[in-house]
Amino acid sequence: MEQLNYNLLFRWFVGLEIDEEVWNHTVFSKNRDRLLNQDLAQKFFAQVKEQAAGLMSDENFTVDGTLIEAWAGQKSFRRKDEDGGPQDGGNFHGEPRRNQTHASRTDPEARLYKKSAGQEAKLSYLGHTLVENRNGLIAAAMTTQADGRAERDAALLMLHELSRGRRGSITTGADKAYDTRDFVSTVRELGVTPHVARRQNGAIDERTSRHPGYSVSLSKRWLVEKPFGWLKQIGPLRKVKLRGLAKVDWLFVFSCAAFNLIRIPRLRAQSA
């Protein structure tokens, strides 16, 4: 707010004239609260997708999730039955800590989670994207609490929304974590062909993997990693500075829309 009193660039950005009076700071706070809205974020994302008409595949997609580190420290992750009094410096070494018995006092909706063995478990959320396979634009985005089923459940929700009202079939690529019988069978019930990377004793067999389109979908899986890299290196999602699932989801969806907004002009210039 202080910058608006003398910085012409800031005034231009928010639409204030040079001699126009700066509004009270409470107006900014109220507008910020109105903006921090999940429905508004999804509407903005949908409008950005409309601008990508002709650039996105409507048949072939890839789904994946990424870990979003919460704005909460390990010392805040305490037993749920503890009182709120001072602690002994947060010495939790040797103490088993689980989401069923512990919760963060800073961000109670964050969950202690790690995506793969050998990694450090951190208080996190999971961000999920559905990317189309032509240019790697994001077709759907959402955030969930972090747990072992969240990636597959979120993928089913996004695919269900995407497949509603469609007549033609669509495909979705995914990594081995999605090769489970319940996920594959549910995806097929939605009218979606699962091009999931095979794992030993998984649900994908030769009936699916023998088709040429299966190999093509697997070769396009790297496209889903490109938005994640941008969201964490350039965007604000390496470690979010908001607390609560609703606000983290708002930030994630808006950031995915920003990624598409940056890509769309470049893709149109290439195709011109």
Task: Please write the tens of the pLDDT for every residue from 147-162.
Answer: 989 999 999 999 999 9
What is the reported pLDDT for 20? 85
Which tens digits make up the pLDDT trace of 100-118? 889 999 999 999 998 877 7
pTM metric for this prediction: 0.84
Q: Is the pLDDT of residue 67 over 90?
A: yes
Tell me which amino acid residue 70 is.
A
Q: Is the pLDDT of residue 267 over 90?
A: yes
CA 122 remoteness from chain centre: 17
- In our burial notation (b when 16+ CB lie closer than 10 A, e otherwise), range 56-76 reads bbeebbbbbbbbbebbbeeeb
pLDDT band, residue 65 (cuts 50/70/90)? very high
How large is the C-alpha radius of gyration of the chain?
22
**What tokens appear for 208 in the block?**
């699916």
- Tokens 């964490």 locate to 232
What is the reported pLDDT for 221? 93
* Pair 113, 144: CB distance under 8 Å: no
Residue 138 CA to residue 152 CA, distance in Å, equals 17
Residue 208 CA to residue 214 CA, distance in Å, equals 7
DSSP state of 58: S
Residue 158 CA to residue 63 CA, distance in Å, equals 9
Q: Is the pLDDT of residue 250 over 90?
A: yes
3-state secondary structure of 121: coil
- Dihedral sign computed on CA atoms, order 235, 237, 243, 244: positive
Q: Is the pLDDT of residue 205 over 80?
A: yes
**What tokens appear for 201 in the block?**
């004793």
* Of 83, 85, 77, the residue nearest 102 (C-alpha): 77
- Tokens 């450090």 locate to 120
pLDDT band, residue 92 (cuts 50/70/90)? low
Q: Once rounded to an integer, what is the mean pLDDT over residues 241-258?
A: 94
Q: Is the pLDDT of residue 123 over 60?
A: yes
Task: Identify the structural domains of the chain with CATH numbers, from first to last.
Answer: 55-72+122-271 (3.30.420.10)
Tell me which amino acid residue 230 is.
W
Torsion over CA of 46, 52, 57 and 61, rounded to 10 degrees? -50
